[in-house]
Amino acid sequence: MLPGTTAALIRDPQVAAFLSDEAMLDRALRFEIALAEAAADCGAAPAAAAQALRERLAGFSPDLDAIAAAMPVDGVPVPELMRQLRPVVGPEGAAALHIGATSQDVVDTALVMGLSQVNDLLAARLASVETTLAALSARFGAQSLMGRTRMQAALPITAGDRIAAWAAPFPRHRRRLADLRPRLECVQYGGAVGVRAPQGDAIAAGLAQRLRLADAAPWHSARDGIAEYGGWLSLVTGSLGKIGQDVALMAQQGVDALRLSGGGTSSAMPHKQNPVSAETLVTLARFNAGSVGTLHQALVHEQERSGAAWTLEWLVLPPMIHATAHALTLAHAMLSGITAMGEG
Amino acid sequence: MLPGTTAALIRDPQVAAFLSDEAMLDRALRFEIALAEAAADCGAAPAAAAQALRERLAGFSPDLDAIAAAMPVDGVPVPELMRQLRPVVGPEGAAALHIGATSQDVVDTALVMGLSQVNDLLAARLASVETTLAALSARFGAQSLMGRTRMQAALPITAGDRIAAWAAPFPRHRRRLADLRPRLECVQYGGAVGVRAPQGDAIAAGLAQRLRLADAAPWHSARDGIAEYGGWLSLVTGSLGKIGQDVALMAQQGVDALRLSGGGTSSAMPHKQNPVSAETLVTLARFNAGSVGTLHQALVHEQERSGAAWTLEWLVLPPMIHATAHALTLAHAMLSGITAMGEG
Amino acid sequence: MLPGTTAALIRDPQVAAFLSDEAMLDRALRFEIALAEAAADCGAAPAAAAQALRERLAGFSPDLDAIAAAMPVDGVPVPELMRQLRPVVGPEGAAALHIGATSQDVVDTALVMGLSQVNDLLAARLASVETTLAALSARFGAQSLMGRTRMQAALPITAGDRIAAWAAPFPRHRRRLADLRPRLECVQYGGAVGVRAPQGDAIAAGLAQRLRLADAAPWHSARDGIAEYGGWLSLVTGSLGKIGQDVALMAQQGVDALRLSGGGTSSAMPHKQNPVSAETLVTLARFNAGSVGTLHQALVHEQERSGAAWTLEWLVLPPMIHATAHALTLAHAMLSGITAMGEG
Amino acid sequence: MLPGTTAALIRDPQVAAFLSDEAMLDRALRFEIALAEAAADCGAAPAAAAQALRERLAGFSPDLDAIAAAMPVDGVPVPELMRQLRPVVGPEGAAALHIGATSQDVVDTALVMGLSQVNDLLAARLASVETTLAALSARFGAQSLMGRTRMQAALPITAGDRIAAWAAPFPRHRRRLADLRPRLECVQYGGAVGVRAPQGDAIAAGLAQRLRLADAAPWHSARDGIAEYGGWLSLVTGSLGKIGQDVALMAQQGVDALRLSGGGTSSAMPHKQNPVSAETLVTLARFNAGSVGTLHQALVHEQERSGAAWTLEWLVLPPMIHATAHALTLAHAMLSGITAMGEG
């Protein structure tokens, strides 16, 4: 919904690749193939059908325009995807297609497969930020800085003291991510109303193994994993926003002797260097903070599937992920561009 | 940030056209031309320069990729736009370019010019929804329906009673829009720090007249018009979400004898008709409700320009506008597709 | 829910008086008396019963503890109130008690009667803040100040320029309040399912006149007036939060030569003066901004009465009103305590 | 801010006791005593002074009214508390009072000491809800229920299937609480600007041990523990809100044969039983969901102490804790009162 120049303030290209329609539908196909195989392993589908399905789906590319066009009517991409897949798998593969599955199984599983990739990326970027903070401390940590409370000069500290406060949450964020991943990156397999057929547990286990996800009971209407994840994203951007706010304040002339390379230019004052990255970190923190509140509204997910609550997740979560990934990149660059901090 | 199939659940193509980069930059050029002329009228710029500028900018198309690339550095599109415009207007037009203006003047004014178009659109769609509700009442109003409070059957009412409750807020929404437009669709002209040069008031008046906006004092750091507007958008989607929630509940089999044409299909239960539009209206209401809270955070806009707060508006407001425009279309279609309501 | 020392940061004693249980129930009794009289005027209740009811309710004080105890069960105070009132009005008044009314009629009407008092108060305080800003400008307006954009020194302005930016939204806030009051301060009278009996319109008109409210169709499930009001409250605190943020920044030593009397003390640094009021204004702005998002969630008010959505209003709106009233008082005091601003 | 009858919808008496002014200040005194002892152990304070301080503070009751009165000025309760304590500890204890500490150390540590009590309570209530769900499943699990997706009848399930979906998040919530407690229930000891004196680490360790908290680096400006905790609270109420929403829908006559004892009464329809508890669970879920968004805004905590951000935590977190504790009690009672569910 944001035009390209504005989107540039929040969009992360790697996240965009992981969450693109193409990637989502590719993972949907991998779900269908893994499902056919897992079902065949349990005797819930003919092995030949599973093999046929795998062969026919290899290299198939869904018609995205048709799926987008069906979206407002169906509310999910899967019914149209199935309309496209049935002729492709043909009668040979039909007996292994979408066995015991429903749209939500495909979409939720394809989502968390993508989130698994995202989380590897974010973990790496968190580590980069931590490394940069350590380097900053090594370089400027002994410099003197005025400690400020309630926006007033209080007592002198060192730049290292402040950098330590910036860095403190990141090991916790890493730990939180490690804690939550097994609760988030779980296969969803429950069928029409979230109740598995007799062999469903074995099929789910096979699916999980093939897709490198945690095995789990259906979570079709228990969305705490998604909401918890949104909270984590906002914790990360919140910690980065705190750094951004401090850097913007420190960049005030005559205050804390912080200098940044690569600041923004002004259309009216060519001499001025704006701490645009620092400010953007604050923006992204506030954006995610507000968004996490909206995402938690989707926890009230009525009955066996709430279209209203589920759809809300799709509108809110992806921008939060972009914001987090972009903020990490931005923070890394901003911190790397600090050329002076405190007084020697 | 939302891939195409998901974006289809919220995106409105007409809004996309009004808020596109192309449209925003086209309005930015119209701002620069009108500014040159208004300045020339006051003697603040040479008339010849203003004329040269107008001639040279006619037909000029900015390099959007370069602007998007500069965005994360500059935080606004205008510095790069100016870098592109200066050689175009040449020495002949330079004396009339960007007179007394700053990036925010261009961006805020170009935004509200677009919002003016958006508001005409939304007003027309509000009227359509009202007409559809009146037609629905004319058709089914006398049918009997169970009135329900706290989700329990209470006493019989008519379908017309419920439709009247649905329709009640819309005249108020129209009135609110009329009330707020003069506070929102205002020229912004304040220069680097929001303080006009001596002839600035006359230039602003000329700008406003040329751009069909209200004349106003600079509102560079007073963002109440934007936040109020976000609130209005959410009031509209809230009223539509209430209708959507009711329709989804009425569509429950054996409850209120409501039938909808054009429901969504299920990948697992081909016989099932899902009230996808009704649910999406609830989603969009909750999305906007959460977003308005985030937008209000941007009211704390420090000093003469807060990059952090201003940027937050850009991330939050456009999706809200899409959600509102799309919800109106969706509601119109959904209400038009009701083929039975209540008992005769 | 906030203990006394914390509540002192947000609580306004006059608002507390207007929204107290005692005041709400006193207005509930006034509603019942006015209803009896309006019904008698239309012949919908015996005049003698109305007179008996009025006489018996004069001086009656409800048992608040019993009402609070029944609250979690009934979800509203009115059923228990009615259990208390019936023996009081006796058989003589019974025929005029609660004619065609339901709990929501009593609670919503008693609420907006209280909001009418609140709004008179807030309007007066808005005027005080405007007066104080004008006085501040008269005293310091000609002083010089560094204009700051994106937290960086930009170009010199005057203190009067900044104060003008602070003051700009307040006339709009006054106008908005005047615009919305007729949409908010409306009688609610709809009975069990929001559908009036034949004489209901006349009764509603009589009620409205007696209670000095606007006459209106039932708004039992159309809550846009409440949500709009919450938005207005947050616009006001947002404008005050911007002032608070600026003052906190200006109070930084060596920055803008602002001095405040009456700052907070520190337990660790006795020499330090903290701009506590300025910071609290930011807090209250962010509190209300978040709250307005939650309040808008209550617009999805299903069917003829949603206990879930209605109750949410009660939890969210009163703290927003306190925050607004308190912020106005705080801003007035803080601005009055500025003893230096800018350089001469 | 909520009058008693409304507060009854959210207030939990045990939480109120843990978070009362009396309890907070009692913990503040325990902090000061433990600090004196820990300092004496390290030789940072005379042992005799520590002993005198302990003896004199035993039985001391702060003047709460004076603290509340100083709150709007100081922004924290500690400066006035110190004014009260100094004459009490006298010259004998003075050398051991508030050694190396600041207001934030006292308030944050006293808060998390209270949260530790709260968390024991919430863990016990979570267990009760789980037990009740298990009992419900044992009783009605085999009954038949219509599975519903997108609010439409889909396929039959059992009551046990739905109860299993309700119960699924609770073991995760327990695990999350266990994960986060060591990150939340941490001593705060950092002094005026968050930088400990040479013996500070040893003092902090002694404090933590005496107060049964985790030892930790100062977290004065790293508020991720608080924000994470708010997210957890909202995850819990979200899961309960989902149950409440389902119960309210199931209680619809003619839908799912659910019967509840102890429903609310109506002032207009004496025959009606309202599922007030179920609706209130939805309310509390939406309240907390919105609140968590506001709480995350407080992560942007500038410099060494942000009065604005810190104060925001105090306004938002306590009502969230009440809502969670109350929702657990309410859910337990509601689930215990289900006397029929599904068809046999």
Which of D147, D289, D294 is facing A297, going by the closest CB pair? D289
Residues of D in contact with B269 (CB under 8 A): 154-155
Q: Closest chain B residue to D300 measured between Cα atoms?
A: B308
Tell me, what's the pLDDT at D260? 86
Predicted ipTM beyond 0.95: yes
Tell me, what's the pLDDT at D209? 98
Cβ–Cβ of A151/C273 closer than 8 Å? no
Average pLDDT over residues B144-164: 95
C199 falls within a domain: no
Which of A253, A290, A294 is facing C153, going by the closest CB pair? A253
Q: Of all helices (H) and strands (E), which one includes residue B330?
A: helix B307-336
Tell me, what's the pLDDT at B274? 85
| B243-275: burial string, b at 16+ Cβ within 10 Å, e else | bbbbbbbbbbeebbbbebeebbbbbbbeebbbb
pLDDT higher than 80, residue B292: yes
Closest approach of chain A CAs to the CA of B144, in angstroms?
A: 27
Residues of D in contact with A231 (CB under 8 A): 227-228, 231, 235, 292, 296
Residues of C in contact with A271 (CB under 8 A): none
Instruction: Assign residue C67 the CATH number of its domain.
Output: 1.10.275.10
Are A155 and A227 part of one and the same domain? Answer: yes
CA-closest candidate to residue D264, choices C73, C60, B88, A111: C73
Instruction: Identify residue B148 by its one-letter amino acid code.
Output: R
CB B189 within 8 A of CB B203: yes
Long-range contacts of the stretch C60-64 (C-beta < 8 A, 24+) = C60/C29, C60/C85, C60/C88, C62/C25, C62/C29, C64/C21, C64/C22, C64/C25, C64/D4, C64/D5
CB A283 within 8 A of CB D300: no
Closest approach of chain D CAs to the CA of B151, in angstroms?
A: 6
B151 falls within a domain: yes
Q: Which 8-state DSSP code applies to residue D339?
A: E
Is D73 part of the contact surface with chain A (CB cutoff 8 Å)? Answer: no
**pLDDT tier, C114 (very low <50, low <70, confident <90, very high otherwise):** very high
Q: State the number of CA atoms in the 13 A half-sphere of B54 facing the CB.
A: 15
Residues of B in contact with A287 (CB under 8 A): 294, 312, 315-316
Mutant choice from B152, B250, B288, B334 vs D, greatest count of D C-beta within 10 A: B152
Residues of D in contact with A224 (CB under 8 A): 169, 172-173, 235, 238-239
Is A151 part of the contact surface with chain B (CB cutoff 8 Å)? Answer: no
Are D170 and D309 part of one and the same domain? Answer: yes
Question: Last residue of some domain: A99, A133, A165?
Answer: A99
Inter-CA distances, A95 with A37, A48, A74, A100, A202, Å = 12, 9, 24, 11, 18
Are C89 and C178 part of one and the same domain? Answer: no
A31 falls within a domain: yes
Mutant choice from D315, D322, D329 vs C, greatest count of C C-beta within 10 A: D315
Q: Of all helices (H) and strands (E), which one includes residue D67?
A: helix D64-74
Cα torsion C148, C149, C150, C154 to 10°: value is: -70
Are A162 and A288 part of one and the same domain? Answer: yes
Question: Last residue of some domain: A99, A129, A154?
Answer: A99
Residues of A in contact with C252 (CB under 8 A): 148, 151-153, 255
Which of B154, B252, B297 is facing D297, going by the closest CB pair? B297
B307 falls within a domain: yes
CB pairs under 8 A between A and D: 232
CB D31 within 8 A of CB D110: yes
Q: Closest chain B residue to D246 measured between Cα atoms?
A: B151
Tell me, what's the pLDDT at C261? 83
Residues of C in contact with B157 (CB under 8 A): 193-195, 304
Q: Closest chain C residue to B173 measured between Cα atoms?
A: C224
Average pLDDT over residues C282-286: 98
CB A125 within 8 A of CB A325: yes
Cβ–Cβ of A307/B280 closer than 8 Å? yes
D200 falls within a domain: no
CB pairs under 8 A between B and C: 228
Closest approach of chain A CAs to the CA of C263, in angstroms?
A: 11
Count of domains forming chain D: 2
Are A286 and A186 part of one and the same domain? Answer: yes
CA-closest candidate to residue C297, choices A25, B289, A221: B289
CA-closest candidate to residue C306, choices B282, D147, B342, D288: B282
Is B332 part of the contact surface with chain C (CB cutoff 8 Å)? Answer: no
CB D45 within 8 A of CB D36: yes
Question: Last residue of some domain: B42, B72, B99?
Answer: B99
CB B311 within 8 A of CB B111: no
Is D73 part of the contact surface with chain B (CB cutoff 8 Å)? Answer: no
Are A151 and A82 part of one and the same domain? Answer: no
Predicted confidence pLDDT, tens digits, chain A (344 residues): 899 999 999 999 999 999 999 999 999 999 999 999 999 999 999 999 999 999 999 989 999 999 999 998 999 999 999 999 999 999 999 999 999 999 999 999 999 999 999 999 999 999 999 999 999 999 999 999 999 999 999 999 999 999 999 999 999 999 999 999 999 999 999 999 999 998 999 999 999 999 999 999 999 999 999 999 999 999 999 999 999 999 999 988 767 778 888 767 777 766 677 899 999 999 999 999 999 999 999 999 999 999 999 999 999 999 999 999 999 999 999 999 999 999 98
Tell me, what's the pLDDT at C271? 67
Tokens at D308, concatenated: 């604005």
C197 falls within a domain: no
Alpha-carbon span C102 to D266, nearest angstrom: 8
User: Chains with ≥3 Cβ pairs under 8 A against D?
Assistant: A, B, C
Tokens at A269, concatenated: 């004052």
Is A163 part of the contact surface with chain D (CB cutoff 8 Å)? Answer: no
Locate tokens 């209130």: which residue?
D280
Cα-flanking dihedrals φ and ψ of residue A53, to 5°?
A: -60, -45
Locate tokens 């990729």: which residue?
B65
Tell me, what's the pLDDT at B271? 66
- Radius of gyration over every alpha carbon of chain D, rounded to an integer in angstroms: 24
Is B307 part of the contact surface with chain D (CB cutoff 8 Å)? Answer: no
Are B187 and B39 part of one and the same domain? Answer: no
Q: What is the residue-wise DSSP string for A276-332?
A: HHHHHHHHHHHHHHHHHHHHHHTT---TTB-HHHHHHHHHHHHHHHHHHHHHHHHHH
Alpha-carbon span B42 to B201, nearest angstrom: 10
Is B252 part of the contact surface with chain A (CB cutoff 8 Å)? Answer: no
Taking residue B87's Cβ as centre, other Cβ atoms within 10 Å add up to 10
Q: Structural domain of residue A72, as residue ranges?
A: 14-99
Are C337 and C298 part of one and the same domain? Answer: yes
Tokens at A295, concatenated: 């995402």
Cβ–Cβ of A1/B322 closer than 8 Å? yes
CA-closest candidate to residue B105, choices B14, B181, B38, B180: B38
SS3 C274: strand
C147 falls within a domain: yes
Is D48 part of the contact surface with chain C (CB cutoff 8 Å)? Answer: no
Q: What is the mean pLDDT of chain C?
A: 95
Predicted confidence pLDDT, tens digits, chain D (344 residues): 899 999 999 999 999 999 999 999 999 999 999 999 999 999 999 999 999 999 999 989 999 999 999 999 999 999 999 999 999 999 999 999 999 999 999 999 999 999 999 999 999 999 999 999 999 999 999 999 999 999 999 999 999 999 999 999 999 999 999 999 999 999 999 999 999 998 999 999 999 999 999 999 999 999 999 999 999 999 999 999 999 999 999 988 767 778 888 767 777 766 677 899 999 999 999 999 999 999 999 999 999 999 999 999 999 999 999 999 999 999 999 999 999 999 98
CB A304 within 8 A of CB D165: yes
Is D246 part of the contact surface with chain A (CB cutoff 8 Å)? Answer: yes
Closest approach of chain D CAs to the CA of A52, in angstroms?
A: 30
Cβ–Cβ of B154/D249 closer than 8 Å? no
Alpha-carbon span C341 to C335, nearest angstrom: 11
Locate tokens 């209430």: which residue?
B242
Tokens at C241, concatenated: 């939060």
Alpha-carbon span C337 to C258, nearest angstrom: 11
CB A235 within 8 A of CB A243: no
Is B293 part of the contact surface with chain D (CB cutoff 8 Å)? Answer: yes
Are D56 and D78 part of one and the same domain? Answer: yes
Are D116 and D231 part of one and the same domain? Answer: yes
Is C5 part of the contact surface with chain A (CB cutoff 8 Å)? Answer: no
C329 falls within a domain: yes
Is D20 part of the contact surface with chain C (CB cutoff 8 Å)? Answer: yes
C194 contacts: CB under 8 Å, gap ≥ 6 = B147, B157, B161, B165, C218, C220, C221, C304, C305
Alpha-carbon span C8 to B324, nearest angstrom: 39
Are D172 and D287 part of one and the same domain? Answer: yes
pLDDT tens sequence across B97-125:
999 999 999 999 999 999 999 999 999 99
Within A141-223, residue ranges assigned H as helices are 159-167, 169-184, 200-211
pLDDT higher than 70, residue C270: no
Which of B4, B245, B293 is facing A293, going by the closest CB pair? B293
Which of D274, D293, D294 is facing B150, going by the closest CB pair? D274
Instruction: Assign residue A288 the CATH number of its domain.
Output: 1.20.200.10
User: Chains with ≥3 Cβ pairs under 8 A against C?
Assistant: A, B, D
pTM, entire model: 0.98
Residues of B in contact with C287 (CB under 8 A): none
CB B220 within 8 A of CB B104: yes
Residues of C in contact with A266 (CB under 8 A): 149, 154
Alpha-carbon span A328 to A127, nearest angstrom: 10
Bigger pLDDT: C269 vs A316 = A316
CB A316 within 8 A of CB A223: no
Closest approach of chain B CAs to the CA of D249, in angstroms?
A: 7
SS3 D306: coil
Instruction: Identify residue A7 by its one-letter amino acid code.
Output: A
Instruction: Identify residue D89 by its one-letter amino acid code.
Output: V
CB B259 within 8 A of CB B337: no
Closest approach of chain C CAs to the CA of A161, in angstroms?
A: 18
Least confident of B132-141, C187-196, D268-277: D268-277
pLDDT tens sequence across C213-252:
999 999 999 999 999 999 999 999 999 999 999 999 998 8
| A268-288: burial string, b at 16+ Cβ within 10 Å, e else | bbeebbbbbbbbbbbbbbbbb
> What is the percent of chain C with per-residue pLDDT over 70, rounded to a whole number?
98
Are C131 and C264 part of one and the same domain? Answer: yes
Cα torsion C133, C137, C139, C145 to 10°: value is: 120
CB D182 within 8 A of CB D112: no
Taking residue A43's Cβ as centre, other Cβ atoms within 10 Å add up to 10
